[in-house]
Amino acid sequence: MLRNNFKQICLLVCMLALVSFAVIHAKASYSFKLHNKTDKKIVKLLASPDGDDYGEFDIGEGIDAGETATLEWDKSTDEGNCEWYFKAVLEDDDNTSPVKFNFCEKNLMLEIE
């Protein structure tokens, strides 16, 4: 009986470890830093895998001139390209030129000028 209880306890511990790993992995996300080198607030950040079709990247209420913000990729892009194009919409509705970044690099810092 003691041996049977020991097996059940070991099985329970293994299941809890697997569930904990899955929860931790599910919450893990890829973050990167973006530095606004312009003299205006960035009000929108646009991202594109091909440089043609852009979607809006959530930056909250914007990124002030000179500020560096930490942003997170959406998990839906986990299997996507390493290289992405970014451009910013500034507070005066000007767009910056698109810049290509490689997100497979560690400690990536995007600089928008």
Cα angle 82-88-94, degrees, rounded to a multiple of 5 = 150
Is-above-0.75 flag for pTM? no
Domains of the chain plus CATH, in order, are 31-112 (2.60.40)
Query: Which residue blocks in the chain are alpha helix, DSSP H?
Result: 2-27
Quick one: pLDDT band at residue 5, thresholds 50, 70, 90? low
Instruction: Report the pLDDT value the prediction gives residue 14, as an integer from 0 to 100.
Output: 39
Instruction: Report the pLDDT value the prediction gives residue 76, as an integer from 0 to 100.
Output: 57
- Does 81 or 76 have the greater pLDDT score? 81
**Over 60: is that where the pLDDT of 42 sits?**
yes
Mean pLDDT, range 2-11, rounded to an integer = 54
